[in-house]
Every structure is written in C-alpha cells, then in structure tokens.
Amino acid sequence: MTDSPRFSVRFDDGAFAEDLHHATAAGRVVGIEARGRLEPEGIAAGELFGCDPDARDGTRLAGCVKTYLPQPDGGWGIVFSGDRATGGRPVLVALAFGVRHPVHAWQPSVYQVAHRRLNG
C-alpha cells in the first residue's frame, strides 16, 4: 500500500467528538489513533472501499468511500465524502466514525450516522 496514491483527510471536530462520545473505550482508542495518523499522513487509496449507493439498511452513500479500522477488516470504520481543498486538490472529509455492524439494534452503524449527516 505504500505505493498507492494518498488522499488528504479532514475531520469535523464536532462530528468526531459526537462519534467518540457514543463509542466504547476501545472504539475511542481506535478512532483517536486513526485520526492521529490520517490527518497528517492522509489515507492510501488501497485502504478505501466504495460504499453501497443504496444499501439494504436504507442508507444512501453514493460517491462515498469507507475504511475499516483497525486494518484490514476491523469492527470500526470511517465513512468519507469527497471535497476539494484549496488549490483544487481532492480531500476526503470524514462523515462518521463508529461501529460497522453493531450487535445492539438500538445502536446505529457508522453507515447510518454517515447517511443522516449526508442526507439530513
């Protein structure tokens, strides 16, 4: 993955704080470590996967990408949307961090949180 193109990553402080508040202690560690790595280094294209545009759970994340944490297929994830940074270079904006597939029916997945933030 070291030869893979990299994308700049940007986090919204308020959204990320909300996601950490809802995470377990282990999830908070994963999220904080991921942000600490991704903001200064960016993310390799090889760490990204396309989101389903219309998923079975009703989420619509067309054009979004995701990563699994910890790599390669951990239980947490970040969903990103694309944007343009100053100078026109592409940047990925973290929409949501959280559990990919929660075991509790009352707990939203990272995909549901991202869908709500993206689609209202």
Please report, for the chain, the start and end positions of each structural domain, with discontinuous segments joined by +.
Answer: 6-119
How many whole angstroms separate alpha carbon 27 and alpha carbon 50?
22
Is residue 1 pLDDT above 70, yes or no?
no
Q: How large a percentage of the chain has pLDDT more than 70?
A: 97
Give domain 6-119's CATH superfamily: RelE-like (3.30.2310.20)
The predicted pLDDT at position 89 comes to: 81
Residue that the structure tokens 């200064």 belong to: 40
Give the strands of the sheet with 76-84, arranged side by side: 43-44, 6-11, 90-99, 76-84, 65-69, 49-50
User: Average pLDDT for residues 88-95, to the nearest whole number?
Assistant: 91
The predicted pLDDT at position 105 comes to: 86
How many whole angstroms separate alpha carbon 52 and alpha carbon 8?
22
The tokens for 33 are 């470590």
Enter the pTM of the model: 0.93
Give 67's pLDDT tier (boundaries 50, 70, 90). very high
111 touches 59 (CB < 8 A): yes
